Amino acid sequence: MLKLVLPKGSLEKATMELFADADLQVNRSSSVDYKATVDDPRIDEVRILRPQEIPSYLSEGLFDLGIAGRDWVEETSADVVSLGQLQYSKATSNPVRIVVAVPQDSPVQSVADLPQGVRVSSEYPRLTERFFADKGIEADIRLSYGATEAKVPDIVDCVVDITETGRALRAAGLKIVDTILTSYTELLANPASAADPEKAHAMAQLLTLLNGSLEARGKVLVKLNVGGADLDKVIEIIPSMKAPTVNELYGGGGYAVETVVPKNQINRLIPALVDAGASDILELPLSKIVH
């Protein structure tokens, strides 16, 4: 039913892991194969292509559904429908930012301090052109094919580059003076496909699986037993998404409690639960959480 296109390159590994977690394993003959399959009746065809091209291909109707960053949607001005953000990126769950950066020792503190005719290197020439035009600054924009941060100050005066943590820019001796765009990875659709009821339903189901897997990351299910006298003490210290589930044990011998908690709190939570009177504590991994 659906023709799916996934990103190759920096997002590739994280995307494949997400689809595997969502039980939508992407199968291909090798890591360099551009064609793949997913054993799911909703997905007929899978291609793996550069994310820079994906919004345009979706807009042209070559694919029904794809994953790319908001940065490439804005750069290409592609006519696509966003079905929602998928909050992951190549290294973290943080969004990436398209930023303006100058040398650390530059007196420039903001874009307004840049001179007319400023030389700018960027992999996003259209986005950069629109940004500087909106600021009333005439800019000499040079398309970068990579290693953008290495071109300051000998070749250009500043760069417009992508950053997730800012470490690479700092290591290159640059400082950020403005943010043009904050970009999450998004599930994108061809407008005609999104308007087709059958395809739209299939897309929504796939999004549920992907978001469920993302929601479960970093969380575990905790189950325990506790006597009636200690129930309130245990409930008081348990974090939960909404409220913990509490059921009376057969024969009135106490209560069974279960809740979802952040994995990074479990090393402090379990000893505290024992101190509060809990017993038979189980910590279980989660693969999906669907609200």
pLDDT in tens, 203-261: 999 999 999 999 999 999 999 999 999 999 999 999 877 789 999 999 888 999 999 99
- Please list the residues that pair with 102 across neighbouring strands: 175
Question: Mean pLDDT in the chain?
Answer: 94
**Domain 219-285: assigned CATH number:** 3.30.70.120
- Confidence (pLDDT) at 92: 57
Q: Taking the domains of the chain in order of start, what are their residue ranges?
A: 2-93+184-216, 96-182, 219-285
The answer to whether residue 198 scores a pLDDT higher than 80 is yes
3-state class of 27 per DSSP?
Answer: strand
pLDDT computed for residue 126 by the predictor? 96
pLDDT on residue 168: 86
- CB environment 126-159: b (16+ within 10 A), e (fewer): ebbeebbeeeebebebbebeeebbebbeeebbbb
In angstroms and rounded to an integer, the radius of gyration of the C-alpha atoms of the chain is 24
Domain 96-182 has CATH 3.40.190.10: yes
Residue 35 pLDDT: 96
Q: Quickly count helices (H) and strands (E) in the chain.
A: 9, 16
What residues form DSSP beta bridges with 48? 6
| In the predicted structure, residue 143 carries a pLDDT above the cut 70 | yes
CA distance 158 to 145: 15
Over pLDDT 90: what percentage of the chain?
Answer: 87
| Cα separation, 28 vs 4, whole angstroms | 14
Q: Does domain 2-93+184-216 have CATH number 3.40.190.10?
A: yes
Q: Which helix (H) or strand (E) holds 9?
A: none
Hey, what amino acid is at 106? S
Which one has a higher pLDDT value, 249 or 95?
Answer: 249
Closest CA to 21 of 183, 189, 219: 219
Q: Quote the tokens at residue 132.
A: 């500087």
Separation of alpha carbons 215 and 186, rounded Å: 15
Q: What are the pLDDT digits (tens) for 53-68?
A: 999 999 999 999 999 9
pLDDT band of residue 127 (cuts 50, 70, 90) is very high
| Structure-block tokens of residue 267 | 């090393």
Amino acid sitting at position 240: S
- State how far Cα 164 lies from the chain centre: 11
175 has pLDDT over 80: yes
Residue 10 vs residue 121, higher pLDDT:
121
147 compared with 235, residue with greater pLDDT: 235
What phi and psi values does residue 198 have, to the nearest 5 degrees? Answer: -65, -45
pLDDT attached to residue 90:
60
Q: According to the model, what pLDDT value does residue 241 have?
A: 72
Cβ atoms 225, 286 nearer than 8 A: no
Helix axes 197-216, 12-21, angle to 10 degrees: 100
Equal CATH topology for 96-182 and 219-285: no
**Cα–Cα distance for residue pair 240/236, rounded to 1 Å:** 11
**Structure confidence at residue 87 (pLDDT):** 85
Give the pLDDT confidence score for residue 253 in this predicted structure. 87
